[in-house]
Structure 1
Amino acid sequence: MDAKEMCDFEGSTLFYPYDEDEASAVINYWNQTQPFSWIFIGVSTPNAREVFETVDGLSISQVYDAWGPGEPSEAGGIEDCVVLRKDGILIDDQCTKKLPFICKKTLSTLEWNKLCDLPDMGYEYNELGRCYKFHLNPRCWHDAVKICDAEQSYLAIINSDAEANVLVNITKNTPKDDVEDTNYLNGAVHLGFKFNHIWKTIKHESLRRSGYTKWGVGQPDGKGKETCGSMFFNGKLNDISCDQRCFFICEHEPPTLTTEYDFRFGRPN
């Protein structure tokens, strides 16, 4: 998963400075808080060589374009992404490099999910004291883990029959007919467990200890080739190839409030 995609999944955009004031503000904060010397920004050549555009389609000439001497250099046509240095200078570089990056979200688009205590309105709180988000963008198992982690959550783990019922209902009630992506396994969602000598949750607890071991008929049946975990839409567990793309559910544990359950559901103590 690349930087742009990660920011997209957070409901933000890959940062690029719009003007000198924004560049200065971000660089000042960066210098005060971070040790790294350069970052990828949301500028690249998606359509034509040497034509640099922002992630939202603006020419770099319309925004901050403080190129260093001799930049962009193209270096044989392999430098299609843009790096911002700590001194405010831009250089082009290879997109395949692994560098830090910053995601940007404007104040006008920032909403706080009070019940789940995180900046994502896609999470829904329920009476088990957990928040869940059903992702309609099919991903492989490892990408699903990364996305949930980026959302300050984790790939959902079933700990009881009651929680299985919650996930079944979430899955049932989430509209799926408009999903344009057709390259995924329908009928299952990735969950947070994996085979490593035994089936364990991503919190390193055996499935048996986690409290839920209801497999689908004939499951697990991968015979060592399907080592990641999923749930059929009916709530039964299924082993799945880690590379198989499908929907997934993230789980978030909000901090306990003093008024906790009753406050969240509008009930008197």
Structure 2
Amino acid sequence: MSLRMGSELKLRTGSETKGRPGLGLMSIDTKFEGMHSMSMLAELGKQSTRKGTATSVGPAAVGPSSEATFEPEPKYRTDYRYVPKQDAFYKVHKELRSWYDAYMYCESEGSSLLYPKTEQEWKLFKGLVQEISPNTSDVWVGAHDLFAYDIYVDTDGKEISQYYAPWSPGEPSSGRTNREYCVEVWYDGKLNNNDCFEIYPFVCKRLNRDITFNSACQTPDPEFIPSKDGSRCYKVHKQPKTWTEAFSICNVEQAYLSIINDKEEAEFVGQKVKSVIDGVLGDFNRNHIAVGFHDKFSEGFYKTIHGQNLNSVYHEWATGQPGDKADGEDCGALTADGLLDDVSCTKSRMLFVCERDIEINEERQQTVAEEVDENGEEME
């Protein structure tokens, strides 16, 4: 179940898959729930400006009061689309992944691999995919029979037979003989069971009611904590990963592998990792923390992942480092003593910290102050 976040495979379309027609999806010109185009989905998330109580679901109700009140726009990740009729956020992933990787990728974004549970959501699913990836012939959905033969459940473990489950004629079939444990929407627009290691696009979903937005860090992830001035936010990851994996995970979280700008930040990142490391089990490099610099482009020419020369930021190396140039140690780490070292990008597993830059204004400073007071977490 490896998480292949860096896949750059070309999108498979109907014309590229054994001559089959494209997935039986609705035309973009088809009317859908009062819309003339799927591109109008974005419009559904916009606030009404009519006088009265406005919501993102419908027009404002005009009451006796002359004062207008407005429900705030729901917030989630900036790469997800809000659909008011479902009160949920959606994202179509065009990149091709196995069912397992699709499941984990949605989890990494704080969402779930979508299984449309109603006929209305089924139409939405088809329209979203058609808008982003026209003529797509196969798309993973969040259902499987991995737990028991021929008992198909969604990612919450509930049987999909209790929902809308339009199987293609003759399907599901040969589930155990051909390792066809996972469910896709097939070229005919209906369900088919298939080998979980086939690679297809997929859709992630997050219900609005399940989101508590972290306003101090402008993310739905509650594990990010702000610096004292609110200009940056940090998240300590407690599962050891290689440098390459850590870089990918931070990118998925709309953040980046922490760049150490000065000694104060080096001490802060080190202290945060030390505060959790004793509770992390398993065999990994406990003396290093993956951080955002490398010399992948030219041996000995160290740059941050944002292209800065390492000498323009924090560059205090541990004794004898950088190390042996023949070992392929092209990626950056911070030692337990707060000094820099170079390590293998793909062999050594370490803890790491993801970082986000936050735009500062007067309103944000107040929000950060309130959240720091509430949870007591801040960069000293």
Instruction: Count the aligned residue pairs.
Output: 263
- Determine the C-alpha separation between the residues in 1 that align with 2:164 and 2:247: 35
**Sequence identity, in percent?**
33
Residues 247 and 72 of structure 1: CA distance in aligned 2, closer, same or farther (over 3 Å): same
Residue in 1 that maps onto 2:330: 227
Counterpart code for 2:185 = L
Counterpart code for 1:157 = I
Counterpart code for 1:147 = I
Matched, 1:94 2:198: no
Matched, 1:155 2:254: no
Counterpart code for 2:309 = S
- Determine the C-alpha separation between the residues in 2 that align with 1:55 and 1:265: 38
Matched, 1:248 2:348: no
Matched, 1:144 2:261: no
- Determine the C-alpha separation between the residues in 1 that align with 2:106 and 2:201: 12
Matched, 1:59 2:173: no
Name whichever of 186-195 and 108-117 sits farther off: 186-195
Matched, 1:41 2:105: no
- Determine the C-alpha separation between the residues in 2 that align with 1:226 and 1:13: 36
**Match for residue 221 of structure 2 among 115, 120, 127:** 120
- Determine the C-alpha separation between the residues in 1 that align with 2:103 and 2:349: 20
Residues 206 and 113 of structure 1: CA distance in aligned 2, closer, same or farther (over 3 Å): same
Higher RCO (CA-CA < 8 Å; seq separation 6+): 1
- Determine the C-alpha separation between the residues in 1 that align with 2:294 and 2:144: 37
- Determine the C-alpha separation between the residues in 2 that align with 1:190 and 1:64: 45
**Structure 2 unaligned residues grouped into runs of 5+:** 4-100, 371-380
**Structure (1 or 2) with the larger CA radius of gyration:** 2
8 A Cα contact 1:6 1:147, kept in partner: no
Matched, 1:166 2:268: yes
Residues 233 and 18 of structure 1: CA distance in aligned 2, closer, same or farther (over 3 Å): farther
8 A Cα contact 2:330 2:345, kept in partner: yes
Counterpart code for 1:253 = D
Root-mean-square deviation (CA, aligned residues, Å) is: 2.6
Residue in 2 that maps onto 1:84: 185
Residues 97 and 192 of structure 1: CA distance in aligned 2, closer, same or farther (over 3 Å): farther
Matched, 1:185 2:288: no
Report the 3-state secondary structure (helix = DSSP H, G, I; strand = E; otherwise coil) of the residue aligned with 1:6: helix
- Determine the C-alpha separation between the residues in 2 that align with 1:57 and 1:183: 32
Report the 3-state secondary structure (helix = DSSP H, G, I; strand = E; otherwise coil) of the residue aligned with 2:311: helix
Under a length normalisation based on structure 1, what TM-score does the superposition of the two structures give? Answer: 0.84
Report the 3-state secondary structure (helix = DSSP H, G, I; strand = E; otherwise coil) of the residue aligned with 1:92: strand
Residues 98 and 177 of structure 1: CA distance in aligned 2, closer, same or farther (over 3 Å): same
**Structure 1 unaligned residues grouped into runs of 5+:** none
- Determine the C-alpha separation between the residues in 2 that align with 1:146 and 1:102: 19
Report the 3-state secondary structure (helix = DSSP H, G, I; strand = E; otherwise coil) of the residue aligned with 1:61: helix
